[in-house]
Structure 1
Amino acid sequence: MILIVDSGSTKCDWISVDENGSQLLDKMRTDGLNPAILDEDKLFEIITSHKDLNKYKDEVKKVYFYGAGCGTKKPRLMLKGVLESIFTNAECEVQEDTFAAVRATLNQPDEAAVVCILGTGSNCSYFDGKDLHQRVYSLGYTLMDDASGNYYGKQLIRDYYFNHMPENIHVAFAHKYNLDADFIKLNLYKKPNPNAYLASFAEFMFLNKDSEYIRELIKKGLRIFTQNMILQFKPEIKSVPVHFAGSIAYFSREEIEEVAKEFNFTLGNIVRRPIEGLVNYHTNSK
């Protein structure tokens, strides 16, 4: 059994296949496994608490894990150790989520492209057809992650408290969420996964896209992301497409198309969940 795993900070999808790519079990989902935020015990608990992962762990021969928070060596090795302690008969490979986005969005394995992630967090890299290049390394949701779910959650809460929302949006937002100041601060400063908590508010945007305020909020974040991240690769985007992966990108297609025209880059593919593309990649390139 081969496990192919695509993890953000909020959720983690697991697909089990045989060597020919045939799916063995129903797709599984756990909470997100971000080793930059969660400790070893919590990572271990999340994986082993899933009934099927625990039941079939001894049958797993390979684990290909792609995840948020795996871009630097220390958390990547920590998660690899956790996986190897659970799937004791398996070879475990851990890569950052950018590689998942690259392998799932490219039209050809050797295609050159700029590849962006807009999910709970955000990132941007250039793939030259062989190697991945990053010119700015992410410092996480506190300082970076423009146009991500947690970015938009933060902007919505700020606009609500600073009274920058139109009245109808203000009322709808208050009706949908618990916006008590103590409750918000508890989730941001006391509970685990504050980035995922912030990202949970982003759904509100896509339920209210008929609002000009919401559409402009989305485009403002995309413009900032483009200026800070995509334009790192200004020479490259003259000749290669810009692909996107992640739920925020998927539901912001119209706004991304507008911003692409503003900044004169060629929009490529937008993939909501990279994991299906990863199955094809690993079973066709073995």
Structure 2
Amino acid sequence: MILIADSGSSKTDWRVLHPNGEVSSFRGLGLNPYYMTAEEMAIQLRQDFLLNYAKDITQIYYYGAGCSAPERKAEVFQALRSIFPIAEIRVDHDLSAAARATCGHSAGIACILGTGSNSCDYDGKKIVAHRPAAGYILGDEGGGCSIGKKFLQDFIHEEMPIPIREAAIERFKITQNIIQDHVYRQPFPSRYMASFCRFISENSADSYCYYLFSNSFKEFFGKHVCKYSGYQEKPVNFVGSIAFYNQSILRDVANELGIQIQTILESPIDGLISYHQNSH
């Protein structure tokens, strides 16, 4: 049996490919070796769905946020090995997942707009160029954390429309102290900040919310896509909830910049299933 995982900072999609062609699925919490130790990830992996297949999985293709550096890959490998003793394990970056899921075996630019953001230039076989991913404090332009952070900044400084502010208070019962406690004292602040994006999407008919997305997407294109050679001639593809649920705004911004968006997926997992089924 083959196990495929696509893990971001907020969630992990797991798929088991059975010999008879059936596919089993499960969604768990996200894993990120930049913010979690191998031991913490191993504890997170001890879920019934995975433990039930522990002795049957022979191959694992794990794609995850924070898995670009060899030492981070080694930590994820160690965590997986603690659950799957006999499997051949391959740990790769979430950019590879985005590229393989959206481009398959064709060339293009692949982007991630989820809790965080990232991008790469893909030649159909491998990633040939990518932009720096500076993380949720210094980067992640266009991602949910960055958009949520701007929203919370505007909330604290009372620089948003009163109806939006009042609706946010009613929905989330937030105050400045609650926000700062979650951001500075609680674990996973990036997830917390990104969690406000659903509310912003629901109110995107309001110009304030629309431009939160629009301005952040422009910043993403400028720092990522527009720096790849020949970007206006290449198909640009996206994975991630922020891109998927706000794709009309994303396409508006792309059209302004002469960028051709081809595919937008909420999650790369189904594309990865097709990729690996066709590769065996």
TM-score category, normalised to shorter length = over 0.9
Match 2:35 to one of 34, 37, 45: 37
Following the alignment from structure 2 to structure 1, what is the Cα–Cα distance between the partners of residues 256 and 13?
Answer: 34
Q: Is the 8 A contact 2:121 2:127 kept in 1?
A: yes
Match 1:75 to one of 72, 75, 86: 72
SS of structure 2 residue aligned to 1:220: helix
Following the alignment from structure 2 to structure 1, what is the Cα–Cα distance between the partners of residues 22 and 98?
Answer: 22
Letter in 2 for 1:40: A
Displacement after TM superposition at 1:19 (Å): 4.3
Query: Structure 2 matches for 1:11-90, cutoff 5 A?
Result: 11-19=11-19, 21-23=21-23, 25=24, 27-48=25-46, 50-90=47-87
Match 1:155 to one of 146, 150, 156: 150
SS of structure 1 residue aligned to 2:120: strand
Q: Is the 8 A contact 1:62 1:92 kept in 2?
A: yes
Following the alignment from structure 1 to structure 2, what is the Cα–Cα distance between the partners of residues 209 and 188?
Answer: 24
Following the alignment from structure 2 to structure 1, what is the Cα–Cα distance between the partners of residues 270 and 21?
Answer: 11
Aligned position for 2:270: 276
Letter in 2 for 1:220: N
Letter in 1 for 2:51: N
Residue deviations 1:181-218 (CA, integer Å, cap 9, x gap): 33322322222211111111111111112211111111
Q: Is the 8 A contact 2:218 2:253 kept in 1?
A: yes
Aligned position for 1:164: 159
Q: What is the CA RMSD across the aligned residues, in angstroms?
A: 1.4
Letter in 2 for 1:99: S
Letter in 2 for 1:148: G
Query: Structure 2 matches for 1:81-230, cutoff 5 A?
Result: 81-106=78-103, 109-230=104-225
Q: 1:258 to 1:212 in 2, by over 3 A?
A: same
SS of structure 2 residue aligned to 1:3: strand
Provide the TM-score with structure 1 as the length reference: 0.94
Following the alignment from structure 1 to structure 2, what is the Cα–Cα distance between the partners of residues 182 and 44?
Answer: 33
Displacement after TM superposition at 1:180 (Å): 2.8
Letter in 1 for 2:5: V
Residue deviations 1:78-101 (CA, integer Å, cap 9, x gap): 111110121001011111111111
Higher deviation after alignment, 223-232 or 191-200: 191-200
SS of structure 2 residue aligned to 1:110: coil
| Paired residue total | 280
SS of structure 1 residue aligned to 2:72: helix
Following the alignment from structure 1 to structure 2, what is the Cα–Cα distance between the partners of residues 21 and 188?
Answer: 44
Gaps of 5+ in 1: none
Aligned position for 1:10: 10
SS of structure 1 residue aligned to 2:135: coil
SS of structure 1 residue aligned to 2:35: coil
SS of structure 2 residue aligned to 1:273: coil
Gaps of 5+ in 2: none
Aligned position for 2:259: 265
Displacement after TM superposition at 1:232 (Å): 1.2
Residue deviations 1:233-265 (CA, integer Å, cap 9, x gap): 1x3213211111111000111111111111111
Letter in 1 for 2:41: L
Displacement after TM superposition at 1:39 (Å): 1.4
Q: Is the 8 A contact 2:136 2:146 kept in 1?
A: yes
The alignment-based identity, stated in percent, is 34
Divergent runs of 4+, >3 A: none
Displacement after TM superposition at 1:20 (Å): 6.0
Q: Is the 8 A contact 1:21 1:280 kept in 2?
A: no
Higher deviation after alignment, 89-98 or 36-45: 36-45
SS of structure 1 residue aligned to 2:125: coil
SS of structure 1 residue aligned to 2:28: strand
Letter in 2 for 1:129: G
Following the alignment from structure 1 to structure 2, what is the Cα–Cα distance between the partners of residues 60 and 94?
Answer: 15
Provide the TM-score with structure 2 as the length reference: 0.96
